[in-house]
Structure 1
Amino acid sequence: MKASFRGSYDANNSDGTGSIVVNAGGVNLQASVTGGTFFNGPLLNDLTLSVESPGSFVVDYIVPKKDVRFQFMNTFKINEKPLNLTYTHSVVENQTSLDGKLALNSNHKVSANYGFKSGSCKVKYNYVHGGVTTIEPCYDFAENSWDLAVSRRVDDDSVVRASYQSSTRVLGLDLRRNSSNNRSIKVSASVNLADKEKKPTIKAESIWDIEM
């Protein structure tokens, strides 16, 4: 069996999240909690339990909402190019969405998301330049807004990513570094340009992989 634990901490709100994943015979069992569970005692109000068969399906049970969310994944070939589809449905919230990703080649990918209830539709283009820089423009037809993310691999272990969302005017910067001892560290900073104070938000996240 193999277990992976992920923890994150929000320096601005003194808040944290965490999840643990256990692989058992090709099926992943996961439990996720948010900051309220950590800092206010062993509560179940922010607990999500998941069962996943990678590349096939995911079933989530969201405890506070008493909701079950299903995800089904499949891959098709279009002119010898892989098309990955993901169907998601939440029972209580009655939300259904369809995600698709088409790999034109190793450097060019197109993905789209459609929400059946809201009618929202997002299209994203992924372009890899020189094997180290990734550019991802995204357009939201429902909101008539666009997002842009640019990431660059600094070395074999570090990636820097900058992003901007026009609908919320949030500018973000992430730095992720992998270490050789099955641990990775991610530091994120964001600022809302629409806010008069423009107070930055800083979050640190650390991931450990533990063999059992």
Structure 2
Amino acid sequence: MKATIKGRYGADKSSASATLALNAGDVKLRASMSDATVANGPSLNGLALSLEKPGSLIVDYDVPRRDVRFQFMNTIKVSDKPLNLTYIHWRGDNRTILDGTLVVDSANKVSANYVLGSGNCKLKYTYVHGGVRTFEQCYDFSKNSWDFAVSQRVYADDVFKASYQTSNKLLGLEWCRDSKSTGTFKISASLNLAEEVKMPKIIAESMWNFEM
């Protein structure tokens, strides 16, 4: 059994969530809740239940909304290259997403994401240089715009990332650390260059895992 506690801190709003996961043979059972579940006394707000078969199936149930999300995963070979396919469907919103990633080699992969019936399609190319530096470029067909990102791994635990979205002129900077000894945290800052008053938005997130 594994418990995870996550906190998110921002200038305008802070939140917290907790997840309890249990291995049951080939599947994992999870229960998660947010601070809304206990803020005004015990309630169903923010409560979700999940069943996962790693690499194959995830079923999420949103308790207060009584909504179900299905996710199916599979991998096939295309010219001896692995193609990872994902099908996601929200029953309540009647929304379906198709996602595919072709792993060309250890340094190159191409992925596509399409929302059925919306015309929203994204195509992304990822290149990893030397195993420590990652370049990403994504084209959004619905917005006719590009997104760019570059990240650099420092030592073993730290990753620095810079991104830019051309559609809304949003510049982002991020520092993430994933350490077994000190836990996981992320500090991100975003700046909208299109705004007259340019004020960065800073968010800090931290996560702790506990084996039970």
| TM-score using structure 2 length | 0.90
Cα distance in structure 2, aligned partners of 1:14 and 1:121: 31
Q: Equivalent residue for 2:128?
A: 128
User: For 1:209, what is the secondary structure of its paired residue?
Assistant: strand
Where does structure 1 differ by over 6 angstroms across 4 or more consecutive aligned residues?
none
Paired residue type of 2:14: D
CA contact (8 A) 2:21 2:31 kept: no
CA contact (8 A) 2:97 2:115 kept: yes
Distance 1:44 1:211, change over 3 A: same
**C-alpha displacement of 1:30:** 2.7
Is 2:23 the counterpart of 1:13?
A: no
Equivalent pairs counted in the alignment come to: 211
Alpha carbon RMSD of aligned pairs, Å? 1.9
Q: Where in structure 2 are the equivalents of 1:19-98 lying within 5 Å?
A: 19-25=18-24, 26-34=26-34, 36-37=36-37, 39-98=39-98
Cα distance in structure 2, aligned partners of 1:171 and 1:40: 37
**C-alpha displacement of 1:174:** 1.1
Paired residue type of 1:201: K
The 10-residue stretch of structure 1 (183-192 or 82-91) with the greater mean CA deviation from structure 2: 183-192
| TM-score using structure 1 length | 0.90
User: For 2:136, what is the secondary structure of its paired residue?
Assistant: strand
Paired residue type of 2:18: S
- Cα deviations by residue, 1:153-195 (Å, 9 ceiling, x for unpaired): 0111111011111223221111111334261221111122222
CA contact (8 A) 1:21 1:28 kept: no
Distance 1:70 1:195, change over 3 A: same
Please, which runs of 5 or more residues in structure 1 have no aligned partner?
A: none
Is 2:158 the counterpart of 1:161?
A: no
Distance 1:143 1:182, change over 3 A: same
Q: Equivalent residue for 2:177?
A: 177
Distance 1:137 1:179, change over 3 A: same
Please, which runs of 5 or more residues in structure 2 have no aligned partner?
A: none
Cα distance in structure 1, aligned partners of 2:59 and 2:182: 27
Q: Equivalent residue for 1:106?
A: 106
Paired residue type of 2:66: K
